[in-house]
C-alpha cells in the first residue's frame, strides 16, 4: 500500500522562500568560506559584482526555492561551502543548510558587437538580469571637483574598466540601443550617471531619447536625474518620450541628507525641494512611474520606514539595497547594520508597498535596486509558479 504525499501549500512555500531571502541577506553581510580548488570544476567564475567596486572574489548561487544569494569570500564567517560527492552544500557552522546550485550571470554575445566608431556595445550599455538596458551617461560625478560627493558613493574613485567610455554621446547610445533591440532586448531602458549640471543633463537626456525614437517608439524609458531647480522642466522629459522618472534621495532624514549628500543638498535646493520635485513628477508621470533610491542602513530604522510610507502615499516607488561601505569614501570603515535590521526594513517596506497597490513591474523599474525588495514583494503577492521563484524578467517585446 502506498501513501499519497500532498504538495506543500502555497503559504508554506511562501514562508520557506522568505526564510531563504533572510538567509541571502545574512550571506551578503557575512560572506562565505570555500576552497577554490574544490569548486573550480563546478563553476566558471569566482567573482561577484559588487556595488561601485567591480568584481570581487565571491560566489553567486541559488537556494532550493530559487532565491539568488551572493557572498564575498571570507574566512571569518559562520557560512561555508563544501563539495561532497560532487554536490555543493551550504553549511552554517557544522549544520547543513541546503544543497545549492551555482549561478552564472547570463552571457549576451550582442554586447561584444562594435559600433561604427569601433567601440563595443558593452562600453555603452549593459543588460541587467531582468532584461532592462542600463546606460550610464557619465561615468564621473561633477560633485568631485567641489568636494561634495555623497559620502557613501565611490563613483569617482573606483577602478575603471579600461574599455568604459567616461562620457556617452546620444548617437552612440542610440546606435548601441538599436543593436540590442535587433537582438530582441531593450524595451525597458534606463539612463543615469553621476551628477551633471542641470541644463546639460536635460539636453543630453532629451537628445538620447529623441535619437532612439527616430527608429523606436515602443519602449519604456526611465530618466534618473537630479531634482531640477525649475519644476516645470519635469514635463519636458515626459514630452520627449520618457515614461518614468527617478530622483535618488539616498537618505530620508532631512538633516542626514545634508550631511551624507552635501552636493545634492546645496546644488538642488535641499531636501524639501527634492521631495517637492518627486511629488510634482507624479502629477506628470502618474502613480508608480516616479521612483527614488534610498540606501538601507544610513537612516534610523523608523525614520526610513516613515519615508517609505510617505513616498508610497504620494505614488512614488522607493527602491533600496543594503549600505556597503566603500574604500576611499567618506564612510569607509563604517559598519553596515546587522542582517536582522536589513531584513526588517525589506519586510516592512514591502508590506507598505503592497498596501499602496504598486505592481511587480514598477518595483523593478527605476534606479536599479529592484530585486532586493522586488523578490519579497513577489513572494508575498504569490507571483510565482510551483515551489521556485525565478528571476524576474520584464515583459518581452510584442
3-state secondary structure 313-326: HCCEEEEEEECCCC
What is the model's pLDDT at position 162?
53
Statement: residue 370 has pLDDT above 90: no
Cα(70)–Cα(236) distance, rounded to whole angstroms? 40
pLDDT (average), residues 336-364: 96
Residue 365 domain flag = yes
| Whether 139 and 90 share a structural domain | no
pLDDT (tens digit per residue) in 277-297: 999 999 999 999 999 999 999
Residue 388 domain flag = no
Q: What burial letters (b/e) apply to 362-373, b meaning 16+ CB within 10 Å?
A: bbbbbbbbbbbb
Cα(396)–Cα(227) distance, rounded to whole angstroms? 31
| Whether 113 and 261 share a structural domain | yes
Statement: residue 264 has pLDDT above 50: yes
| Whether 53 and 124 share a structural domain | no
| Whether 15 and 158 share a structural domain | no
What is the model's pLDDT at position 16?
97
Could you tell me the pTM of the whole model?
Answer: 0.91
| Whether 83 and 115 share a structural domain | no
Domain-ending residue, one of 102, 131, 152:
102
Least confident of 82-86, 350-354, 359-363: 82-86
| Whether 136 and 272 share a structural domain | yes
| Whether 289 and 172 share a structural domain | yes
Which grid coordinates belong to 307?
Answer: 519615508
Residue 151 domain flag = yes
Statement: residue 99 has pLDDT above 70: yes
| Whether 281 and 366 share a structural domain | yes
379 exposure class (CB count in 10 Å sphere: 0-12, 13-18, 19+):
buried
The total number of structural domains that make up the chain: 2
User: pLDDT band for position 363 (50/70/90)?
Assistant: very high
Domain-ending residue, one of 102, 131, 156:
102
Cα(190)–Cα(204) distance, rounded to whole angstroms? 14
Residue 394 domain flag = no
| Whether 186 and 52 share a structural domain | no
| Mean pLDDT, the chain, integer | 87
Residue 34 domain flag = yes
Residue 352 domain flag = yes
pLDDT (average), residues 193-202: 69
What is the model's pLDDT at position 262?
82
Residue 397 domain flag = no
Do 284 and 234 touch, CB atoms closer than 8 A?
A: yes
| Whether 206 and 329 share a structural domain | yes
User: pLDDT band for position 3 (50/70/90)?
Assistant: very low
**Which one has a higher pLDDT value, 48 or 229?**
229
Per DSSP, the three-state class of 343 is helix
The alpha-helical segments, DSSP class H, found in the chain are 10-30, 36-39, 170-182, 198-213, 234-240, 254-260, 262-267, 270-285, 301-313, 339-355, 360-364, 370-381
Domain housing 32: 10-102
| Whether 45 and 128 share a structural domain | no
Residue 391 domain flag = no
Residue percentage of the chain with pLDDT more than 70: 86
| Whether 133 and 282 share a structural domain | yes
CATH code at position 144: 3.20.20.70
Q: Report helix angle 370-381 to 339-355, nearest 10.
A: 60
**Which one has a higher pLDDT value, 108 or 47?**
108
Domain-ending residue, one of 73, 102, 131:
102
Determine phi and psi for 223, rounding to 5 degrees: -100, 120
Which grid coordinates belong to 145?
Answer: 571637483
Least confident of 95-99, 102-106, 116-120: 102-106
pLDDT (average), residues 246-262: 91
Statement: residue 55 has pLDDT above 90: no
Amino acid at each position: 500500500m502506498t501513501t499519497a504525499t500532498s504538495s506543500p501549500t502555497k503559504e508554506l512555500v511562501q514562508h520557506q522562500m522568505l526564510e531563504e531571502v533572510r538567509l541571502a541577506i545574512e550571506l551578503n553581510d557575512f560572506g562565505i568560506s570555500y576552497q577554490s580548488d574544490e569548486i573550480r570544476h563546478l563553476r566558471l567564475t569566482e567573482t561577484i559584482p559588487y556595488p561601485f567596486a567591480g568584481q570581487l572574489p565571491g560566489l553567486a548561487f541559488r537556494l532550493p526555492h530559487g532565491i539568488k544569494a551572493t557572498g564575498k569570500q571570507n574566512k571569518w564567517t559562520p557560512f561555508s561551502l563544501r563539495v561532497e560527492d560532487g554536490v555543493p552544500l551550504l553549511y552554517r557552522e557544522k549544520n547543513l543548510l541546503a544543497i545549492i546550485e551555482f549561478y552564472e550571470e547570463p552571457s549576451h554575445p550582442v554586447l561584444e558587437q562594435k559600433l561604427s566608431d569601433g567601440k563595443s556595445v558593452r562600453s555603452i550599455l549593459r543588460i541587467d538580469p531582468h532584461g532592462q538596458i542600463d546606460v550610464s551617461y557619465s561615468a564621473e560625478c561633477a560633485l568631485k571637483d567641489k568636494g561634495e560627493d555623497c559620502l557613501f558613493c565611490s563613483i569617482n574613485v573606483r577602478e575603471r574598466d579600461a574599455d568604459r567610455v567616461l562620457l556617452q554621446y546620444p548617437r552612440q547610445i542610440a546606435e548601441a540601443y538599436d543593436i540590442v533591440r535587433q537582438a530582441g532586448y531593450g524595451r525597458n531602458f534606463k539612463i543615469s550617471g553621476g551628477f551633471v549640471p542641470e541644463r546639460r543633463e536635460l539636453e543630453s537626456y532629451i537628445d538620447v531619447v529623441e535619437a532612439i525614437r527616430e527608429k523606436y517608439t515602443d519602449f519604456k524609458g526611465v530618466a534618473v536625474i537630479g531634482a531640477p531647480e525649475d519644476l516645470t522642466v519635469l514635463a519636458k522629459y515626459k514630452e520627449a518620450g520618457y515614461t518614468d522618472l527617478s530622483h535618488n534621495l539616498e537618505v530620508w532624514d532631512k538633516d542626514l541628507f545634508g550631511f551624507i549628500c552635501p552636493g545634492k543638498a546645496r546644488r538642488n535646493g535641499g531636501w524639501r525641494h527634492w521631495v517637492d520635485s518627486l511629488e510634482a513628477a507624479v502629477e506628470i508621470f502618474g502613480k508608480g512611474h516616479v521612483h527614488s533610491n534610498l540606501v538601507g542602513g544610513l537612516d534610523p530604522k523608523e525614520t526610513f520606514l516613515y519615508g517609505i510610507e510617505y513616498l508610497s502615499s504620494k505614488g512614488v516607488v522607493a527602491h533600496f539595497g543594503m549600505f556597503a561601505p566603500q574604500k576611499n569614501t567618506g564612510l569607509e570603515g563604517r559598519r553596515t547594520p546587522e542582517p536582522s535590521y536589513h531584513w526588517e526594513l525589506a519586510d516592512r517596506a514591502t508590506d507598505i508597498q503592497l498596501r499602496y497597490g504598486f505592481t511587480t513591474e514598477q518595483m523593478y523599474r527605476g534606479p536599479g535596486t529592484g530585486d532586493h525588495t522586488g523578490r519579497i514583494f513577489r513572494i508575498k503577492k504569490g507571483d510565482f509558479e510551483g515551489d521556485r521563484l525565478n528571476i524576474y524578467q520584464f515583459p518581452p517585446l510584442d
